Amino acid sequence: MSELVIETKDLHMNYGKGKSVVKALRGVDFNIKRGENYCLLGPNGAGKTTLIRCILGLLKGEGSIHVLGYDMSKEHDKIVSKIGYMPQNIALYMDLSVKESLHFFGKIFGMKNRQKRTEAVNNLLDIFLLDKWRATKVENLSGGMKRRLSLACTLVHEPELIILDEPTVGVDPTLRISFWEYFKELNEKGATILTTTHVMDEAEKSSIIGFMRDGKLIAEGTSYELRKRVPEKRKLIVEVDKENTFDLKEKIIKEFGCKTYSESYKVEAFCRDQSIIDDIIEIIKKDTKIRSIQTVEPSLEDTFIHFSSNNKEGSNK
């Protein structure tokens, strides 16, 4: 059994032709090991969804793609029943009931035995608290309920590889937490999971994070490893009595050249050299009264901003 569940080599994908061509993927080498919980991060237009759609065989790019040991270009039909895919947009039939939807997707993914399919459907109705609405048509469900059903339909056939493209978009915090608790449970049982998200605390739950920008995978590693790659080692957060802190920001940038942000009653400065922190505080003191001072390591959100900016970061592959 191959250790790699997903393997792409020099994957390219373009939209359009001639002068209007958009290079969505630019030579992506991408690997996911069996049993990993991998999260793709990146700004809108980075190529995350295009990469996923190529992996699923929904788009045909240039380069090689192997999924679960099969060549996607030649053996796509052999792996359909082994993958569960939840797209960003709800992909359900509005005229089916909740129960009918689960049976329908179970059949599509090769669950021919009705007894086993019924057991799986009843189990998911219970897990996702959908049993009360089993006879309700999809069109009459709330947005959160549709999202819950969409995930259940993705998992009804117990796939080896689960691909979730922003699965918690538009769901309430309680439901979002329950989703990720279930993802963790599936991962611990052996499923390999690939997700995309813009929610940083969700990304933190993944074992490996990959950053995409401009159609390239530019960095990957654990959350801890990626934060260590940010040049600014400390973030100084100062709350002040002054509402408009723009001029303070400009003074700090002019004096120290460090990345600095201003908000109402707050200044944040990213420091490569921790020795300048006291000097920055002195500049602020001369201008206004300080309410509080805090220094922290850059967060994953700060790391996201770093890798999403136009600095020259190369892939670590």
Contacts of 132 (CB under 8 A, 6+ apart): none
Domain match, 206 and 246 both: no
The answer to whether 152 touches 178, Cβ cutoff 8 Å, is: no
Mean per-residue pLDDT of the chain: 90
Smallest CA-to-CA distance from 317 within 220, 235, 223, 251 is with: 220
Domain-located, residue 78: no
* Domain that residue 208 falls in: 1-68+160-230+298-317
Q: How many domains does the chain have?
A: 3
Domain match, 200 and 313 both: yes
Is the model's pLDDT at 123 over the cut of 50? yes
Domain-located, residue 201: yes
Domain match, 17 and 125 both: no
CATH of the domain at 284: 3.30.70.260
Band of residue 2 on the pLDDT scale cut at 50, 70, 90: low
Q: What is the pLDDT of residues 57-71, one digit of tens each?
A: 999 989 999 999 999
Domain match, 112 and 201 both: no
Domain match, 45 and 30 both: yes
Domain-located, residue 24: yes
Q: What is the pLDDT of residues 192-239, one digit of tens each?
A: 999 998 888 889 989 999 999 999 999 999 998 998 888 888 899 999
For the chain, helix, strand, coil in percent to 5 are: 40, 30, 30
Q: How far apart are CA 77 and CA 14, in angstroms?
A: 24
Domain match, 141 and 288 both: no
Predicted TM-score (pTM) of this structure: 0.83
